[in-house]
Amino acid sequence: MDIGFIGLGNMGHAIVENMLKAGHQVRVWNRTRERAQPLAALGAQIVAEPAQAFTGDAVFSMLADDAAIVEVIDDALLDRAPRDLVHVNMATVSVDLAQALARDHAARGIHYVAAPVMGRPDVAAAGKLTIMAAGPAEAVDRVQPLFDVIGQKTFRIGSLPQHANVIKLAANFALAAAIETLGEAASLLAGHGVAMNDYLDVITSSVFPGPVYAGYGKLIAEQRYEPAMFKARLGLKDVRLALAAAEATSTPMPLGSLLRDNLLEVMARGDGEKDFAVLGEVAARRAGR
């Protein structure tokens, strides 16, 4: 397939690599052109502007936040895009923006699919992402072969793109809550001279198996927050988006408010570029350790 791809952060870079390995033609655009150079060596075509990527059979985008998406995927770009194109937005965005993008695309005859993912860059590199896809069924069908290349499973959430984004925000909120509890547990253990790794051996072999407790628990145990696989500042963005979605429906999320404040403390100390697991450091400071 002839694919455009906009946004080559760690996740986007890994996804494009897998598309190229599967034999697809991929045109790539990134604000910082240097990020795209390694992909050119693998066969990607680097284009000078987003509109050149916004053509072909489908275009994927994975930009950092709402502001970046609004700046790049604006009315002028959509006006120039070919009709019947499928745009797959893999970014974690606000519910309001997801609704606005779906409306703006439909008005121009462009298919909009929200497809946020679960998985860090190493999971993306392995082609094992979990994809939550929502949008017109025909459009999802057209890009499903690409989802099969980059992910291990695609969950179809329905026809409303924003529903995929709500699930992603709820999932990232639960992830943040798990990291917070791991950090607080680590402080409790330290206060009694118990090794965090002994605790992790117990819980990950019984009640809490899986990559979240094992992976983030290990980072907290080792106080290893750099290099970041998922930056704390992006975690703060997602918690804020979850709280905004909750407020829109008068849904209390007291734990979400706590997580926001703890992540603001991370930012205030200049640690926003560190891994999300740095929440463990906040808990340790609070305990005087």
Residue found under tokens 């329905």 = 158
**DSSP, res 34:** G
Rg (CA), the chain: 20
- Helices assigned H by DSSP within the chain: 10-21, 37-40, 50-53, 66-72, 75-80, 95-107, 121-125, 137-150, 161-191, 196-204, 211, 217-222, 232-248, 254-268, 279-286
Strands 58-61 and 2-6: parallel
Residue 243: pLDDT band (50, 70, 90) is very high
- pLDDT per residue as tens digits for the range 103-126: 999 999 999 999 999 999 999 999
Residue 184: is it exposed, middle or buried by C-beta count within 10 angstroms (0-12/13-18/19+)?
Answer: middle
Q: Where in the sequence numbering do the catalytic residues fall?
A: 168
Domain spans of the chain, in order of start: 2-159, 166-286
Residue-by-residue DSSP string for 90-148: -S---HHHHHHHHHHHHHTT-EEEE--EE--HHHHHTT-EEEEEES-HHHHHHHHHHHH
Band of pLDDT at residue 289, cut at 50, 70 and 90: confident
* Fold match between domain 2-159 and domain 166-286: no
Tell whether domain 2-159 is in CATH 3.50.30.10: no
pLDDT, residue 97, reads 97
Averaged pLDDT of the chain: 97
Give tens-digit pLDDT for 181-234. 999 999 999 999 999 999 999 999 999 999 999 999 999 999 999 999 999 999
Domain 166-286 in this protein, CATH class = mainly alpha
How many CB atoms are closer than 10 A to CB 193?
6
Helix or strand run (H / E) with residue 45: strand 45-46
The Cα–Cα gap between 47 and 36 comes to 9
pLDDT tens-digit readout, 127-159? 999 999 999 999 999 999 999 999 999 999 999
